[in-house]
Structure 1
Amino acid sequence: MATHAAPNVPFLDVLDPAFDFEAPEVYAAQAESWYADSPFGLLVLRYEEAGDLLRDRRMIHDGRRYMETHGITGGPVYDWFVPMIVNHDGDVHRRLRGLMNKAFTARRVDRLRPFVRERAERLTDPLDDGGTHDFVAEFGIRLPLAVMCRLLGVRPEDYDHFGTWTADLGLVFSLSGGDDVVARLENAVNGLNDYADHLIDDKLARPGDDLSSDLVAAYRAGDGQVSRDELRNLLVTLVFAAHDTTRHQLANAMIAFAGHPGQWTLLGRQPELASQAVEEVMRWQPSSGSVYRFAGEDFDYKGLAIEKGAYLTMCVKAAQRDPRAYKNADRFDITVAREAPPLQFGAGPHHCLGAALARVEVGEALSVLATRLGPPSVAGAVPRPGPLGIQGPETLPLRFG
């Protein structure tokens, strides 16, 4: 079933290779209507409506339908994605979410802060030579990778195994992006499944003070909290959640500041603005540029009859520049305390568990980089993915100062 837009609703061709959510026609459409039509479903363009629908329990993830929409009906990617925690609702989601809440505590995140800062300082040192550096390879990938491995209790000698796998997992939200996407995803899922099994066995034999050990302890208890298959899936999903979106957010922050060097200089002089800068970077250049949902039942919303099975995309980047939600929405300004929170972490029962950790990582990184280096400038071509899914450059040549 598909929900059909009204005849006078704007149409945006997001499958056009030249399409960009920063284009004037997007904001013209947003001014005209809270949603637009597209080649594959409705696009929600405004902040209020996107937030409403992300919280609405009649909207579901339906991982099976998402895979089948992109022509995937089986295989390792399907077997990982469909049973992922975010694709469950009701009792199963509450059980797995409760387990994660116990392991993913604010105390554990706060204890990681000194490690994050020390690693950010170490990665900043080589950037301070006046030369051109690929920020993604030298900083953006390495910081969240080290933090994720520390969080999960992965041995430092195994870090390199994770680099390509964890980066490629984010392609699951860009399945229309090219012929090699599924092959790269399958390689990543297979590698991480094998490593997760190894990690479970290691923590069963030698538990430590880390998140993996806490989750394995729940499995060892044998009281039905989590099965081995669920545990493996949780660990692989954690790798994805703790690394891919954060590495892209770090790169997107550099792009934002490269366009606003005065804001970078201000942050360097007033590092106490770092937490506010994080919120503004996530609003202005989010790593999750869009979030999808399916309608789990027929219902009406603001005069639109939404049919069961309808595919809706919350256009996070456009919604987070909606002038109805933000004063001076078209201005990047780290001195403004924005009241409306970012949408890229979702909302309601599925709000991202890793949001606090992402904020710590980006905040510590920005504080270190801005106080030690001059403003970034882009020093070469920046290849970008399509407009949907996880957003961020694969490479980012920068000079500082």
Structure 2
Amino acid sequence: MSSSINLEEDKYNLIFPEVLANPYPTYRRILLEEPVYWSDFLGGWYLMRYQDVAAAMQDKRMSAKRPPISKLPELEQQNIFPLLETLSKWMLFCDPPEHTRLRGLFNKAFTPSIISSMAEKIQALVDELIDGVYERGNIDILHDLAYPMPAIVIAQMLGANDEDREQFKKWSSDLARFFGMFRMNTEILTSAKNSILEMKEYFRIILEERRCQPQDDLISNLIFAQEKENSLDDEEIISNCVFLTFAGHETTTNLIANGLLALLENPSQMQLLKDKPSLITTAVEEFLRYDSPVQRQARIAVTDLEIGGKKISQGQRVFLVIGAANRDPEQFLNPDKLDITRPENPHLAFGKGTHFCLGASLGRLEAQISIKTVIKRLGSLRLNTNQIEWHENPSLRGMKSMPVAFNP
């Protein structure tokens, strides 16, 4: 955070550390007072109601093709041009028909049959990671399980070396800080640029290797599609492999950790899941609603429009606050209550419409197996800290660490 930032400029204090640690009371206040509001400080419109967020996710007047950060001086834009150029090729920042073409090719790696076939491998990996800490009677859920497991899985899918996961973590953390940045910070911008260039070089080497010697991985399949249909260029393959590496584990890591924290803070729900492990499917959906790893998405208005009586001008940024929408009392009964048996749960944690999360089924499976196994294998699970530290990131919600103790 730049030292020149005046936090008092933020009407609702959305980027105060104490609000980032627990944004939900503030979300509710905004939802009641001003569910569609303009923030000069944060540079855009904020949508808080479920119906507004869900509609905006599917509104063709809202473009996903937006710069990931606004109000950058010309010199800084030039400095991070390689970063912005790469991000512009991510399917996350594309609209149809470009998005449709990319999504169709990458979808082939996430079919239901492929994902379900991975369950046994994911279970073995979770057990192996727990075995590594079991005798000591304590585990950092994030560092010992929730980070390495999805990082290894996505690395194997792409054809990367899972032993490089610590490098993936550094790259991913640099990008996460960039996506959570609300004011210019040269150090964060430079780190993100350097990391994305290193990631691209890493996947460029794999791409050349697979072109000579194809294997059973996503990059090899994308090369095959490229040669057969002439539908992808190397930059698109490499840039979206970077995207999948980042998105494929950053959000799942936080889903697993946030879900386990929610259970520890709600012992009756923890006991219910212990007694009825089959509830894990609805439980994970509730974790996604209750404390979503992705708190907001952004769009750009491509034309003048009106939402909730407010006039939004062409070119203005619109933030879709998923965390607020998922606790909207107009949509969810007792929205601030964790209920792992919640029968109807149309949460927006994975988005909606054409940009619905590509890896949703994989993330669900990884979270179900991880959380179910932790509860089954680690007895008397309890937090081993008096103070949880959260990343100061308004977009990606996650803890810095989550130490817990258990009875072996």
Answer whether TM exceeds 0.5 for this pair: yes
> In structure 2, do the counterparts of structure 1 residues 269 and 79 end up closer, same or farther at CA, with 3 Å as the change threshold?
same
Q: Secondary structure at the match of 2:77?
A: coil
Summarize deviations over 1:28-49 as a string: whole Å, max 9, x none. Answer: 3312343234322222111111
Task: Give the aligned residue type for 2:284.
Answer: V
How far did 1:315 drift? 1.4
Task: Give the aligned residue type for 2:372.
Answer: S
Summarize deviations over 1:99-129 as a string: whole Å, max 9, x none. Answer: 1223332222111111111111112234444
Verify the 8 A CA contact 1:127 1:400 in the aligned structure 2.
Answer: no
Task: Give the aligned residue type for 1:108.
Answer: I
Residue range with higher mean Cα deviation, 244-253 or 297-306: 297-306
> In structure 2, do the counterparts of structure 1 residues 111 and 189 end up closer, same or farther at CA, with 3 Å as the change threshold?
same
Counterpart pick for 2:368 among 360, 363, 382:
363
Summarize deviations over 1:224-255 as a string: whole Å, max 9, x none. Answer: 30011111111111111211111122221122
What is aligned with 2:213?
206
Q: Secondary structure at the match of 2:19?
A: coil
What is aligned with 1:225?
231
Counterpart pick for 1:147 among 147, 153, 160:
153
> In structure 2, do the counterparts of structure 1 residues 24 and 389 end up closer, same or farther at CA, with 3 Å as the change threshold?
closer
How far did 1:216 drift? 1.6
Q: Secondary structure at the match of 1:276?
A: helix
CA RMSD of aligned residues (A): 2.2
Task: Give the aligned residue type for 1:210.
Answer: D
Summarize deviations over 1:116-171 as a string: whole Å, max 9, x none. Answer: 11111112234444644322111111110111112112234444432322343323
Verify the 8 A CA contact 2:36 2:307 in the aligned structure 1.
Answer: no
Counterpart pick for 1:194 among 188, 201, 204:
201
How far did 1:265 drift? 2.3
Give the Cα separation in 2 of the matches to 1:273 and 1:130. Answer: 29
Give the Cα separation in 2 of the matches to 1:194 and 1:46. Answer: 42
Verify the 8 A CA contact 2:62 2:299 in the aligned structure 1.
Answer: yes
What is aligned with 1:44?
47
> In structure 2, do the counterparts of structure 1 residues 399 and 37 end up closer, same or farther at CA, with 3 Å as the change threshold?
farther
Q: Does residue 108 in structure 1 map to residue 114 in structure 2?
A: yes
Residue range with higher mean Cα deviation, 260-269 or 237-246: 260-269
- The 5-angstrom pairing of residues 72-87 of structure 1 reads 72-74=76-78, 75=80, 76-87=82-93
Verify the 8 A CA contact 2:15 2:394 in the aligned structure 1.
Answer: no
Task: Give the aligned residue type for 1:26.
Answer: Y
Residue range with higher mean Cα deviation, 367-376 or 187-196: 367-376
> In structure 2, do the counterparts of structure 1 residues 377 and 314 end up closer, same or farther at CA, with 3 Å as the change threshold?
farther
Verify the 8 A CA contact 2:115 2:362 in the aligned structure 1.
Answer: yes
Verify the 8 A CA contact 1:193 1:236 in the aligned structure 2.
Answer: yes
> In structure 2, do the counterparts of structure 1 residues 348 and 69 end up closer, same or farther at CA, with 3 Å as the change threshold?
farther
Normalised by the length of structure 2, the TM-score is: 0.88
- The 5-angstrom pairing of residues 58-207 of structure 1 reads 58-64=61-67, 66-71=68-73, 72-74=76-78, 75=80, 76-129=82-135, 131-176=137-182, 180-207=187-214
> In structure 2, do the counterparts of structure 1 residues 368 and 400 end up closer, same or farther at CA, with 3 Å as the change threshold?
same
Residue range with higher mean Cα deviation, 14-23 or 254-263: 14-23
Residue range with higher mean Cα deviation, 376-385 or 280-289: 376-385
Give the Cα separation in 1 of the matches to 2:172 and 2:104. Answer: 25
What is aligned with 2:6?
none
What is aligned with 2:358?
353
Task: Give the aligned residue type for 2:383.
Answer: V
Task: Give the aligned residue type for 1:61.
Answer: A
> In structure 2, do the counterparts of structure 1 residues 23 and 229 end up closer, same or farther at CA, with 3 Å as the change threshold?
closer
What is aligned with 2:5?
none
How far did 1:11 drift? 4.4
What is aligned with 2:4?
none
How far did 1:345 drift? 1.7
Give the Cα separation in 1 of the matches to 2:31 and 2:380. Answer: 33
> In structure 2, do the counterparts of structure 1 residues 183 and 384 end up closer, same or farther at CA, with 3 Å as the change threshold?
farther
What is aligned with 2:391?
385
Verify the 8 A CA contact 1:382 1:397 in the aligned structure 2.
Answer: no
Q: Secondary structure at the match of 1:345?
A: coil
What is aligned with 1:30?
31
How far did 1:392 drift? 0.2
How far did 1:25 drift? 4.0
Q: Secondary structure at the match of 2:398?
A: coil
Verify the 8 A CA contact 1:36 1:44 in the aligned structure 2.
Answer: yes
Counterpart pick for 1:55 among 54, 58, 67:
58
Give the Cα separation in 2 of the matches to 1:156 and 1:147. Answer: 8
How far did 1:332 drift? 0.4
> In structure 2, do the counterparts of structure 1 residues 125 and 357 end up closer, same or farther at CA, with 3 Å as the change threshold?
same
> In structure 2, do the counterparts of structure 1 residues 390 and 375 end up closer, same or farther at CA, with 3 Å as the change threshold?
farther
Which segments of 5 or more consecutive residues in structure 1 lack a partner in the other structure? 1-9
Summarize deviations over 1:260-294 as a string: whole Å, max 9, x none. Answer: 12212221221111111110111111110111111
Task: Give the aligned residue type for 1:378.
Answer: L
Which segments of 5 or more consecutive residues in structure 2 lack a partner in the other structure? 1-9
Summarize deviations over 1:309-365 as a string: whole Å, max 9, x none. Answer: 11111111121111111111110011222332x212221111111111100100111
Give the Cα separation in 2 of the matches to 1:356 and 1:95. Answer: 20
Verify the 8 A CA contact 1:144 1:242 in the aligned structure 2.
Answer: yes
Give aligned-pair identity as a percent. 26
Verify the 8 A CA contact 1:171 1:390 in the aligned structure 2.
Answer: no
